Chain A
């Protein structure tokens, strides 16, 4: 797959900035797209297109446990999130809702770059350099391959590994 980069190489982008708490209390998750990242970049919702890739800094998604944060990125059109590192709850939540994430600690990916991404191998190519993401644990690969934790459990009924 390929995707265009929105670079926010800022550390500790927390869940309040990904989707402020005041917008999270609804089951109509499509509404999150109107407010995703609005306190970080009020233009984000106008710039983002289906299939784009978000690239963040260290400790991306720290703060609250709200699953609305990865959902907000997904409904905005983001197909993959790359960060130097992730907070642990965001990491789990993203996989659980079927949003692929890749941890690449050291990179010089530029804003607007077009990335070629192979999710299976974790290889990312920005036209100049090929990067390798830290591998996911097998259970997360299994969950992601099923499309998220809901379809995974619908099929397997319990965790298997």
Chain B
């Protein structure tokens, strides 16, 4: 029996998962060396990772099946420099039998979940800050930089400070027109950009029964916008195509803070330029003219997001002067959206499609806005220059709000449209 059990102190989800991966009971504040279940890098981070791995003396990753590379951030390659970085990734993956998802496969985080490279209770580390997305599955997942990831490829381990957790209780049923994006924007507005730094967010409450896996990914995804190390959602009500043992917190687990949000009373939300914490009710910005509407990203590029947009745009046309870009989160999403007619509806409305991947979110290519343009986006960040032009302004919203606004040309509450 460990000291932990003798004192019978409760553990958070984070403490339980990290204990299981350290091999002994750990508590918040302790440093621990932990075994990693999967390691992932994108084309933004993998080239530096491979360079560091080689310099460390690495040749083959500790576990090739658990080493995953995804070409998504600037894909297909916009220029020869990036094309050669992609080539470097392909060659390394081929040589070492590591897992590679090439251009067009989709956004790393969508693929990691779709292809089951992450499961509930696991510890997954990615060289991308939105690796926190897998908290949707009740996994502990977090982002690191390239060299940290190279170290995992070398050793199968990393070191972490076990985080304190903030408990977020979501209660009640969301109103029509209110989505998971509005819920997480409400949370980010309340916690702030720095409010969860070094901490994990752990979500529970009666709202979870209304949330799909996609909804949960949207919520977990933006943990890092609060500085969070992880954003873990209790798996209550979550259905997956395989059996899993839920990891639940003990009833006497200790939290640094508890925040209860009555989801039944929240309005559609907007994060105004130039920070994700600059959140307001849509009512404060209704009528703001937009130039570009963007639906996609690891936050909101899933099938249900595209279907929601199509339900609003069906048989209608974009407002004059508004352009709309759509980036399906993965090839799987694209295939389903083609099969069920979603893509047709969106195309007939006037939308432009970008291949599955990160698209305009990271400002590398395809869909860079012009000076003084206003973009309404389903992404997770709107820092200055995020989309490639520091003189553009980005508002963040749900796919429903983005689609409704693309129809009218101004920020519009989807519930106010004639049905």
Question: Cβ of A63 and Cβ of B383 under 8 Å apart?
Answer: yes
Selected interface stretch from A20-28, A46-54, A74-82, A113-121: A20-28
Please pick, from A12, A17, A62, A159, the residue contacting B33 in the complex, using a CB distance under 8 A.
Answer: A159
Question: Cβ of A66 and Cβ of B31 under 8 Å apart?
Answer: no
Please pick, from B127, B148, B194, B362, the residue contacting A149 in the complex, using a CB distance under 8 A.
Answer: B148
- For B, the interface residue count at a CB cutoff of 8 angstroms equals 53
Residue in A16, A17, A96 with the greatest tally of chain B CB atoms within 10 Å = A16
B43 part of interface (Cβ distance < 8 Å):
yes
Selected interface stretch from A1-9, A83-91, A122-130: A83-91
B141 contacts across to A, CB distance below 8 A: none
B45 part of interface (Cβ distance < 8 Å):
yes
CB within 8 Å for A25 and B383 given contacts A137-B31, A137-B161:
no
A89 contacts across to B, CB distance below 8 A: 129, 143-145
A122-154 contacts to B (CB < 8 Å): 137, 139, 148-150, 153-154
* Whole-angstrom CA separation of A85 from B227 in the bound complex: 11
* Whole-angstrom CA separation of A17 from B274 in the bound complex: 12
Question: Cβ of B148 and Cβ of A93 under 8 Å apart?
Answer: yes
Question: Cβ of A65 and Cβ of B55 under 8 Å apart?
Answer: no
Please pick, from B73, B131, B144, B155, the residue contacting A159 in the complex, using a CB distance under 8 A.
Answer: B155
Interface string of B228-242 (1 = CB under 8 A from A): 010000000000000
The range of chain A's interface size is 35 or more
Please pick, from B57, B82, B145, B385, the residue contacting A20 in the complex, using a CB distance under 8 A.
Answer: B385
Question: Cβ of A149 and Cβ of B159 under 8 Å apart?
Answer: no
A62 contacts across to B, CB distance below 8 A: 193-194, 227
Question: Cβ of A92 and Cβ of B144 under 8 Å apart?
Answer: yes
Residue of A nearest to B193 (CB): A12
Question: Cβ of A93 and Cβ of B147 under 8 Å apart?
Answer: yes
* Whole-angstrom CA separation of A11 from B383 in the bound complex: 12
Question: Cβ of A161 and Cβ of B31 under 8 Å apart?
Answer: yes
Q: Which residues of B contact A (CB under 8 A)?
A: 31, 33, 43-45, 47-48, 51-52, 55-57, 73-74, 81-82, 85, 126-129, 131, 143-148, 150-151, 154-155, 157-159, 161, 193-194, 197-198, 227, 229, 275, 362-364, 381, 383-386, 388, 390
Please name 22 pairs of A and B residues whose Cβ atoms are closer than 8 Å in the assembled complex, sorted by A: A12-B193, A16-B381, A16-B384, A17-B385, A21-B364, A25-B74, A25-B82, A64-B128, A64-B129, A65-B127, A87-B227, A88-B198, A93-B144, A149-B56, A149-B150, A149-B151, A153-B56, A153-B151, A159-B33, A159-B151, A159-B155, A159-B157
